[in-house]
Amino acid sequence: MDARSPTTKPTGQDRPAELTLRGIVLGAGITVIFMAANLYMGLKTGMTFSSSIPAAMISMGAFRLMGGAGLLENNIVQTQASAAGTLCNVILALPGLVLIGHWQGFPFWQTTAVCMLGGLLGVAFSIPLRRALVSGSDLPYPEGVAAAEVLKTGQEEEGSHGLRDLLAAAAAAGTIGLATSGLRILGDGLNGAISLGGAVFRTGTGFSLALVGVGYLVGIGACLALLTGVLIAWGIAVPVLTALSPDSAKSAGEAAEAIWSGQVRLMGAGIIAVGGLWTVGSLARPILKSIRSALSGSGGLGKDHPREERDLPITWVAAATLALCAPLAILFGYFAKPADLGGLTVVLAIAATLFTILFGFLMAAACGYLAGLLGSSSSPISGIGILTTMATALLLPFILGHSAGPEGDRFVTGMALLLTAVVITTSSIANDNLQDLKTGQVLGATPWHQQVALIIGVGVGAVVIAPLLSLLYEAYGFVGAPARDGQDAGSAMAAPQAALMTQIANGITHSELPWNMVLIGAGLGVILVAAETWLKRRNLTFPALTVGIGMYLPLSVEVTIAIGGILAWVAERRLRARVGGKGDARAADKALGAARRRGVLLASGFLVGESCVGVLLAGTDLLAGHSAALAIVGKDFAPYATGLGLAVFLAGLAVYHRMVSVPGEAPRRG
């Protein structure tokens, strides 16, 4: 079936409701829940997850309790709630301001302004891009089409079963998370280091079902790329560098960690930078075509356009974009106030605003195109963050000269991270909105209704993100930031991507960045991009960007995610073996699809359950004034906790594999 020719579209006078008050209220509630889950998971592991599909399932269950709802009303709720999984990408850069000591926490209005202004710019940019990249192109938008299929299936009898699966998985992961991070009776991972002739090799894995769910969702291709990064980092680079620079004052594990943190991660940054540049460069022609199409197409709400093609008017969009320039300039000017730049503050604010608008639109177009080609999960948000950090850290000294005042280099680093946070938010929201608009196109939704819903989602998410970030920081702290009284340093959140971008910005600002590591990574990036291109022609997925990510995320996180991807691959093969011998190919495809949807919902449930428990534990620790407030065992129990954690983790994997490798029944139409 052609994704652009849905079997049923609501038309004429019998059109179901779309943008309703109850849908907006429900969407706002779901947005807050998934915002908390994504912030916790992102700061802990560097990975976030798409909230569209689980939000749709929760919406359908909630609407059933209220007497039911139509397909398009559910679509509006998932569109609004999808902002939760997207605005959270701000954690790629914003925590860096805390790491360098420029912020002592997350000031409400500045944090809210970054998310609100960047998010609204992203919505504005996606509106003119819709005609070129969604309705006017043959891009497949795999995740958008999949979300539409889940929504259609959810309207049938299977929808209630899917909601039960999601909630059961959330309850199971939440219970394990409570026993692990709260009661401390289960260990959270297993790791070790081996030294051979001065070369240190490190191994390990985490015991998180949520990370297994992440691996299941991203698939075997991305997980193999991730494992390639692990092999390069921990199997080659770290052993070689530890052998060349032995440190007798540290244990083998500490020496390996120091080499990885200070040098090897920068090789990963070089790979990501090359991958991001290649992506943007290869999309130059489609981006220019999108801009021309946007300028020539009027769009709007008028009745002369079919309902399925009505956007918010382009004149409104242009006026809103211009209007957003003023608060952006105020944000940048206020941030620069402590640097005492005098009249240069105005110049900096204007230059930063122009950079944000122009560079943000370019990155939004690149992300939108790649989302249409490969899906939102494959968009190079990390690469865009690194490119923006490098560009701003290199350009700002040309504007400021030696006028940065008492804040000096720290101010330049902070301003680079602030600009990066806004551009990341803009690109992420535009990327997500185009995917949602594809879902709406398949279902026959009205574009401007979805655009309004996402604006509301951005507003709700931007308001709650600062309190949630403050809660998590006060309870756990960040690795590399000063620990507060009562905080357990072992529970500090890694915030790995923000730490990497801070390291890059600091290194450029202080002229201390080990460019040799970055250049080695760039050389590897060229080779990996060539391999990715060659494999893509053979319909194989091996994203070079993900190899770079595999080099800078913590080892325990990467291995656990890879386990989820391998589990998905094994389950897929087992499913095909079970249904392959059936005579009815169409029935076999439906059974496979139902089983895959169940796997997606279970994975989403793991993420939601573990993350929400993490946020609740953060609140408990904050009220108690110290970390591990609910712990019922001491540190001497750690060896037993590790064994128990491993046993529970293996049992969870076995149950999950069994559930996702059994062919599902195709939904019956009532």
Stretch 169-187: mean pLDDT: 89
Side-chain half-sphere CA neighbours of 69 within 13 A = 29
Whole-angstrom distance, CA of residue 352 vs CA of residue 256: 39
In a domain, 350, yes or no: yes
What pLDDT does residue 305 have?
Answer: 61
Task: Say which residue, 489 or 30, is predicted with more confidence.
Answer: 30
- Provide the pLDDT for residue 172: 92
**Sequence-separated (6 or more) residues with CB below 8 Å from residue 616:** none
pLDDT over 50 (residue 669)? no
Burial class for 258, CB neighbours closer than 10 Å (0-12, 13-18, 19+)? middle
CB contact at 8 A, 628 and 637: no
- 594 pLDDT higher than 80: no
| Nearest CA-CA partner of 270 in 382, 357, 150 | 382
Amino acid symbol at 276: G
Place of tokens 């407030």: 629
* Closest of 231, 229, 232, 255 to residue 243, by C-alpha: 255
Q: What is the pLDDT of residue 4?
A: 39
Q: Note whether residue 8 is domain-resident.
A: no
Highest averaged pLDDT of the listed ranges 356-365, 428-437, 635-644: 635-644
Domain region containing 257: 17-665
Is position 410 within any domain?
yes
Residue 404 confidence class, pLDDT cut points 50, 70, 90: low
pLDDT tens digit sequence for 215-249: 887 778 778 888 888 999 999 999 999 988 887 77
Residue 1 has pLDDT above 60, yes or no: no
Pick the residue with more confidence: 665 or 323? 323
Provide the 8-state DSSP code for 237. Answer: I
Structure confidence at residue 118 (pLDDT): 92
3 occurs within a structural domain: no
Helix (H) or strand (E) holding 206: strand 199-206
Q: Which amino acid is at 80?
A: Q
Which one, of 175, 180, 177, 162, lies nearest residue 604 by Cα?
A: 162
Write down the pTM of the prediction. 0.73
Distant-in-sequence, close-in-space partners of 343: CB < 8 Å, separation ≥ 6? none
Kindly report, residue by residue over 48-59, the tens digit of the pLDDT.
666 676 677 777
The residue with greater pLDDT, 406 or 199, is 199
User: H/E element holding 670?
Assistant: none
Mean pLDDT for all residues in the chain: 78
Query: pLDDT value at position 327?
Result: 94
pLDDT at site 509 = 81
CA distances for 14 relative to 11, 74, 256, angstroms: 7, 17, 65
Percentage of the chain surpassing pLDDT 70? 78
| Confidence band for 5, pLDDT divided at 50, 70 and 90 | very low
Is the pLDDT reported for residue 302 higher than 80? no
User: Do the domain assignments include residue 6?
Assistant: no
Q: How many domains in the chain?
A: 1
338 or 52, which is more confident: 338
Banded pLDDT at 661 (limits 50, 70, 90): confident
For residues 200-229, give the mean pLDDT.
84
pLDDT of 651 reads: 95
Confidence at residue 170, expressed as pLDDT on a 0 to 100 scale: 85
Cα 167 to Cα 22, 30, 419, 424, 605: the distances in Å are 22, 14, 38, 31, 6
Whole-angstrom distance, CA of residue 262 vs CA of residue 517: 10
The pLDDT of residue 487 is: 64
Residue 136 falls inside a structural domain? yes
The pLDDT score that the predictor gives to residue 330 is 93
Produce one character per residue of 584-598: b if its CB has 16 or more CB atoms within 10 Å, e if not.
eeeebebbbbbbbbb
d(CA 406, CA 89): 31
Q: At what angle do helices 408-443 and 142-154 cross, to 10 degrees?
A: 50
Q: Which amino acid is at 52?
A: S
Query: Which one, of 320, 450, 327, lies nearest residue 52 by Cα?
Result: 450
Contact of 283 with 370, CB cutoff 8 Å: yes
pLDDT of residue 146: 64
Identify any residues that bridge with 193 across adjacent strands, giving them in sequence order.
202
Is 90 a residue whose pLDDT tops 50?
yes
**By the 8 A CB rule, do 188 and 199 touch?**
no
435 closest CA partner among 40, 58, 122:
122
Secondary element (H or E) of residue 291: helix 284-296
Mean pLDDT of 408-426: 87
From CA 450, how far away is CA 454, in angstroms rounded?
Answer: 6
Q: Which of 147-161, 322-336, 351-365, 419-433 has the lowest mean pLDDT?
A: 147-161
For residue 40, is it within any domain? Answer: yes
Q: Report if residue 4 sits inside a domain.
A: no
Using the predicted structure, report yes or no on whether residue 597 has a pLDDT greater than 50.
yes
